[in-house]
Amino acid sequence: MSFLTAPLPSRLPSRLRRPGQFRGRVRATSAGAATELLEDRVLSAAAGLGAAALLPPPPWSDGRESVRAALETSLAELLSSPSVAAAELQGTWELVYTSRGTAVTRALPQLPLSLPQPTVSGVLQSLAAEGAGYTTTNVATVGLGLLGTWSLRAAGTWTPLGQGVPTPDARVAFNAFSFELVDQQILQPLTLQVPEVLRQAATFRTLWLGGKLRVAEGAASGNRFVFRRV
């Protein structure tokens, strides 16, 4: 008699009959799937905004108001769910949405839609553990039409302030900035070191941390940032 034709036992061994043995696993799997669905909805809405996802909302109607509203609704649902306990802060993150633009995009002129628009792409933030905190490097590519395309880089420190969930607030300060005109071989990158006495610091708050996304907020400005793990 082979194992394929052997009769099944009338009662399972007690170790296989523990009440609720699989319920916790099913609940965790279901919660994880729901969280991933929310993350995907936020990403889809951000993609629907295109390049406008990184720009401040314009003072005139650009036809994307309903997309922004859908994104904010999905974002609110995501923030109402718990962060993923095992998610890591360090790594490389791509900025996919900001509610009020960034320091770079707010400095760009808001031109009428009939004119060529400045572009911002490839906004990445890299965090590497160092001591009790992290080093951080932010990069972005900015297109300025006839003035060319520039690669911007800011390097600094990310210092946690106490304890917090999903991560503590952090004091972020940059100590060096570099600018490079891309697709040319003549001009060398320009790097500016910031003396310690002149460094400006800001408090950055992580609101939600998951497998795909990180949602953060400037503590003073209330500006929200959505990052996708790269």
Q: What type of residue is 179?
A: F
The Cα–Cα gap between 117 and 96 comes to 18
- Section 202-221 average pLDDT: 92
Structure tokens of 209?
């941390």
The Cα–Cα gap between 140 and 178 comes to 11
pLDDT of residue 2: 46
Left if phi > 0, otherwise alpha if psi is -120 to 50, otherwise beta: which for 202? beta
58-99: per-residue pLDDT in tens?
Answer: 777 778 888 899 899 999 999 998 888 778 899 999 999 999
Identify the three-state secondary structure at position 37: helix
- Decide if 204 contacts 170 (C-beta within 8 A): yes
Tell me, yes or no, whether 17 lies in a domain.
no
Tell me, yes or no, whether 15 lies in a domain.
no
Number of structural domains (the chain) is 1
- Look at 20-34, 108-122, 210-224 and tell me which has the smallest mean pLDDT: 20-34
The structure's pTM equals 0.78
Q: Is the pLDDT of residue 175 over 50?
A: yes
Domain of residue 216, residue span: 24-109+119-229
E-assigned strands of 10-132?
91-98, 119-130
The Cα–Cα gap between 219 and 161 comes to 12
190-193 and 201-209: which strand pairing? unpaired
What is the residue-averaged pLDDT of the chain? 82
10-37: per-residue pLDDT in tens?
Answer: 555 555 455 555 455 545 556 678 889 9
The residue among 204, 210, 209 whose CA lies nearest residue 158 is 204
CATH of the domain at 94: 2.40.128
Tell me, yes or no, whether 93 lies in a domain.
yes
Number of Cβ within a 10 Å radius of residue 96: 20
∠ CA 75-76-77, nearest 5°, is 90
